[in-house]
Amino acid sequence: MKKKISIYMAAILFFLSATPIFAEGEEEYRAIKDAETVLSSSKYVSYGEGCVLGPIGILMGLLIRPSPPATAVLGKSPEYAEEYLEDYNYRVGTGQAMAGVAGCFTTAVVAATGGLIILIVGALH
């Protein structure tokens, strides 16, 4: 059981950190790079929110996002800035939501395991 959980968690963390090989343009590539930098720390917070708050933690990951670096759009065209912000928000929101799902899943597995242990111990007495 623990081995399956660790395999699932490793797969989730791998997909959260994977960078797409093909980016459509400079703004998307830079947005992906900046989003990964932000996610390197914020995904742990989102994971904790998923563990503690469950589905509410997942929603928080989707709705509350760190601001992108201001220097990324400074001096760029409005089209570039719009595309960059759209890509950045999508990547960060999705990454945080996935970390929240992983946290929620972890809590569910721990709770189910604890309940099963209680049932087994109760049946033995």
Q: Determine the pLDDT at residue 79.
A: 84
The pLDDT, as a whole number, for residue 10 is 65
pLDDT in tens, 91-121: 888 888 899 999 999 999 999 999 999 989 9
82 pLDDT more than 90: no
Is the pLDDT score of 32 beyond 80? no
Percentage above 70 pLDDT, the chain: 78
What is the average per-residue pLDDT within 42-47?
86
Cβ neighbours for 78, distance < 8 A, ≥ 6 positions apart? none
Which pLDDT score, from 0 to 100, does residue 105 have? 93
**What pLDDT score does 113 carry?**
94
Nearest Cα neighbor of 18 from 47, 3, 39, 48 is: 39
For residue 35, give the nearest of 84, 99, 108, 103 by alpha carbon.
Answer: 84
Indicate whether 22 pLDDT > 50. no
